[in-house]
Structure 1
Amino acid sequence: MFDSPLSTSAYGVLGVEPDVDDEQLRKAYRQRLRATHPDTGGDSASFGRVQRAWELIGTPEARQAYDRGHGFATFSADGDADAGAGADPSGWRPARPSADTRPRARAHGHPGGWRRERYLTLMREWVGRGIPLEDPYAPALVRSAPHEIRRLLADALAEEATARIVADLGMGFTVWHDVAASGRRGDDPDAKLDHIVLGPSGLYGVLSEDFGGPVTLRRGELQGDDVEGSPIGDLIARMRVVSRAAGVRFSGAIVVLPDDDLPQAILDAGRVRGLPVVVCGRAALATVLRRGIPGARDMGGNEVFDVRTRLQQSVRFV
């Protein structure tokens, strides 16, 4: 729960600054524990976050390890993030090529690439032109950045997580990442589909997101404190752009979110604008893609081959 660029740090959960002394830290922990306890009017989720935060920084040894990993021991408010850059347990940096030789899904495009490029551009502008930016992924630097910049990195990580899950499904699946979905003049030139996944259960448009907090489903659309616009509606609109260009029919739409942000692993949104839609946690994505979603039409072998060929000939990447 503390690994997303949008999540509050352990210190933030306890309501203290990273340079607080041990006695003040213990006092803050006890206060937050009482305030969030379900017996005193709090809720179990907040209570759990307080307990987890204390596990991470409650002892001198744990706190030192946490500070090193998150850059709090060396990062200052004036933007000095030159130390602590080598330790990043959160895994926010681009992954290195895998040496795994198992059969993988056919993959095209660069998952999360567009958002990572945009993140790096805005991060350099925010730090200041001409100021060296030795490590744009230093955790303390990331957490101090404006929300819109952190959101870009969080979404890039979400897309990369989905790509790893789909890759493990094997050679029966094909996936296209970061697909351009601006069809007519006046459309958003940056409009894209995060993923198109083709397999035995159907052809799906997939949106990978991290809103940084709990999300619910209401009347076929996502609801949450940090949910803006109509993510599902936009997903389907972009799927239709690709559908027209390639001459293919999508079986349905899937939205993938962090597991902790959903009330249950799989939420069935029913049909939205004529397409079946499912919202699921990352841990449930492989199951959803293998089984298909309610109301989706299965594809035969010849149709899968034809759809793959059409998409290969028409897909453009952002």
Structure 2
Amino acid sequence: MFDSPLSASAYDVLGVDPAADEETLRKAYRLRLRQTHPDTGGDAAVFIQVQRAWELVGTAEARTAYDRGHGFGDAPAAEWSGWRSTPRPADTRPRAKSFGQPGGWRRERYLDLIREWVGRGVAVEDPYDPVLVRRAPRELRRMLADALAEEATARVVADLGIGYTVWHDVAAPVRGGTGDDKLDHIVLSPSGLYAVLSEDFGGPVTVRRGELTGDVVPGTPVADLLARVRSISRSAGVRFGGVIVVLPDEDLLQPVTDLGRTRGIPVVLVARGALSNLLRQGVPGARSIGGNEIFDVRTRLQQAVRFV
């Protein structure tokens, strides 16, 4: 929480200026607790955000670390690299077989847009500087947030081991699309074949009639995802067993939500912390595959998949 480029800062959640003194900060925290407490009609998700915000800035030591990492005050933010693309530490454990670059398209797009936004001829020393990112338009921050979300999901899948194969940033053109339509991840597992969407909307999300809703949710992400799934199904000649939408843990009140079936395909919404168990156990009601069919599906996807 609060490490997403889209998230409100701890100060925004508490409703105070970043330069507020300790007493003002404490009063704001107590007020926000009363305003958001579920027992008095408040929103449970926002109530949790208020508590987390206080953990980050409620003590002098924690506040100094938070300000340094997020570009508030006079403290330099150079020590913090949470939004930069960093190499994964060496790991000798067997890992899932992976193709494509998770988050790669969105990172490249973000870098192009942030330089364009700053202005031609102006050098951008660090496109991930917290101060620069915080000031950027929401569409730029959303691009970076989604890249980070895709990278986080890829790490979860990679840790599942050699029984899994995953394709990232798969081109999935649809009629009337934007020209950059893609599936974030296709995961072939012992429990089934899944299309996975990694998102970060920067706030709590709710569900209505099988679709994601909320002030921070643009368009119809589930319907768009299913259209891309149908595109890949046709081009590769495969049947997906389920569709998974992955969101940050703090944006959901429960780890797994069944969104129902669309054209026979079960769709689930899952917090990233629960994704590993879901993929191991399988999406409830999903079509399982095994034996020679796994090899056939892998071959078909390898021949048909194109990357954005």
Change in Cα spacing, 1:34 to 1:218, as seen in structure 2 (3 Å) is closer
Once the two structures are superposed, the pairs formed by residues 226-237 of structure 1 within 5 Å of their partners are 226-237=216-227
Which of residues 263, 281, 292 in structure 2 aligns to 1:291?
281
Please tell me whether the aligned partners of residues 200 and 301 of structure 1 are also in contact (alpha carbons under 8 angstroms): no
Which of residues 249, 253, 260 in structure 1 aligns to 2:250?
260
Deviation at 1:8? 1.0
Which of residues 93, 106, 111 in structure 2 aligns to 1:115?
106
Report the residue type matching 2:298 in the other structure: R
Which of residues 279, 303, 306 in structure 1 aligns to 2:293?
303
Deviation at 1:41? 4.8
Deviation at 1:126? 1.7
Query: Partner residue of 1:128?
Result: 119
Query: Partner residue of 2:272?
Result: 282
Once the two structures are superposed, the pairs formed by residues 37-186 of structure 1 within 5 Å of their partners are 37-38=37-38, 41-74=41-74, 83-88=76-81, 91-182=82-173
Please tell me whether the aligned partners of residues 33 and 47 of structure 1 are also in contact (alpha carbons under 8 angstroms): yes
Deviation at 1:44? 4.4
In 1, distance between residues paired with 2:255 and 2:155?
18
- Give a deviation string over 1:56-78, Cα, whole Å, max 9, x none: 22333332222111111248xxx
In 2, distance between residues paired with 1:43 and 1:245?
44
Please tell me whether the aligned partners of residues 174 and 181 of structure 2 are also in contact (alpha carbons under 8 angstroms): no
Gaps of 5+ in 2: none
Please tell me whether the aligned partners of residues 11 and 53 of structure 2 are also in contact (alpha carbons under 8 angstroms): yes
In 1, distance between residues paired with 2:52 and 2:249?
17
Change in Cα spacing, 1:265 to 1:48, as seen in structure 2 (3 Å) is closer
In 2, distance between residues paired with 1:35 and 1:266?
28
Partner SS state of residue 68, structure 2 = helix
Partner SS state of residue 205, structure 1 = strand
Query: Partner residue of 1:29?
Result: 29
Change in Cα spacing, 1:50 to 1:290, as seen in structure 2 (3 Å) is closer
Please tell me whether the aligned partners of residues 85 and 135 of structure 1 are also in contact (alpha carbons under 8 angstroms): no
Gaps of 5+ in 1: 76-82
Query: Partner residue of 2:6?
Result: 6
Query: Partner residue of 1:80?
Result: none
Deviation at 1:140? 2.4
In 2, distance between residues paired with 1:26 and 1:162?
36
Deviation at 1:235? 0.8
In 1, distance between residues paired with 2:150 and 2:236?
23
Count of residue pairs brought into register by the alignment: 308
What do you get for the CA RMSD once the two structures are aligned?
Answer: 2.0
Report the residue type matching 2:168 in the other structure: H
